[in-house]
Amino acid sequence: MNVKKLAGEKAVEYVRDGMTIGLGTGSTVYWTIRKLGELVKQKELQIRAIPTSQQTSDLANELGIPLETFAQSTEVDLTIDGADEFNSSLDLIKGGGGALVREKLVAAASNRLIIVANESKSVEKIGKFPLPIEVVPFAWEVTAKRIEGLNCVPTLRRVNGCPYVSDNGNYILDCSFGYIENPAKLDRTIKLLPGVVDTGLFISMADTVIIGTTNGLKVLSKKN
Ligand SMILES: O=C[C@H](O)[C@H](O)[C@H](O)COP(=O)(O)O
């Protein structure tokens, strides 16, 4: 059973006609985007979408999903995205695919954030997945040293031996902190460091997590 497809397609049920949808990045939300594309093509759904990466923008264009930018609208009704880890408070680590900065901007502009994931992303404490941190390339070595001082091992993300460059022209440090006791505090601390653009910690942003499992779907919702 394709549990990513199961979770990804389920999220489409939350989309309504006329909505502006934030489209996340990755192999789970891929299934959401494909399904949305089908519904748009069959004229069963009228939406506009704001993509969180070039990769998602290309996919949406290919599927005929109308795109817009924040120049047209600064409010997003619903964003659907993936995650690398989530806990029972719905705090997340994101950015495994390098799209964390745009993902966070789109999520922050959204009235609702739905995460689609498979069960392996569910953890008691986040931090086993190395935390992606986007940094300005200039003096990245200095920024990495400062981050290392917070008790982690930062590794510059590389592709074919060259630094990985995000859609924003920045580098990504994958930082192994081990289990993170206070994710909100760590996020604030890291963001104060010069050179840091943003972190992959998404604290109190997600409203719902749709989890695909081999026994079917589970849905976690934010406790008010
Ligand atoms: O930068 C990438 C994103 O945060 C993804 O949403 C995240 O890495 C999860 O991707 P996937 O669904 O492929 O595991």
For the segment 22-27, the average pLDDT, to the nearest whole number, is: 98
**Atom 2 of ligand 1: nearest residue by CA position:** 97
With bands split at pLDDT 50, 70 and 90, how would you rate the model's confidence at 93? very high
Q: Of 31, 52, 84, 92, which is best to mutate to test ligand 1, by the most ligand atoms within 8 angstroms of its C-beta?
A: 84
Of the chain, the percentage scoring pLDDT greater than 70 comes to 100
- What is the 73 CA–ligand 1 centroid distance (Å)? 25
Residue owning the nearest CA to atom 6 of ligand 1: 82
Complex ipTM: 0.98
- On whether 96 is known to bind a ligand per the annotation, the reply is yes
Res 94 pLDDT > 70: yes
pLDDT digits (tens, 9 = 90+) for 126-161: 999 999 999 999 999 999 999 999 999 999 999 999
Ligand 1 near 22 CB (within 6 A)? no
Residue 224 has pLDDT above 80, yes or no: no
Q: Which atom of ligand 1 is least distant from the CA of 30?
A: 12
Distance from chain centroid for Cα 112:
13
Taken in order of first residue, the domains within the chain and their CATH numbers are 3-120+203-214 (3.40.50.1360), 131-199 (3.30.70.260)
| Contact status, residue 3 vs residue 122, Cβ threshold 8 Å | no
Q: How far apart are CA 110 and CA 122, in angstroms?
A: 23
Full DSSP string of the chain: --HHHHHHHHGGGG--TT-EEEE--STTHHHHHHHHHHHHHTTS---EEEESSHHHHHHHHHHT--B--TTT-S-BSEEEE--SEE-TT--EE--TTS-HHHHHHHHHTBS-EEEEEEGGGB-SSS-SSPEEEEE-STTHHHHHHHHHTTT-EEEE-EETTEE---TTS-EEEEEE--S-S-HHHHHHHHHTSTTEEEESEE-S--SEEEEEETTEEEEEE---
Average pLDDT over residues 15-40: 98
Which of 103, 119, 124, 181 is an active site residue? 103
**Residue 95 Cβ contacting ligand 1 at under 6 Å:** yes
The owner of tokens 């003096």 is 139
- The first and second tokens of residue 16, run together, are 């309504």
Res 223: pLDDT: 79
Q: Are 198 and 191 in contact (CB under 8 A)?
A: yes
- Would you call 103 a catalytic residue per the annotation? yes
Mean pLDDT over the full length of the chain = 97
Ligand 1 centroid to 190 CA: how many Å? Answer: 21
Can you give the pLDDT at residue 42? Answer: 97
Q: What are phi and psi of 118, to 5 degrees?
A: -105, 170
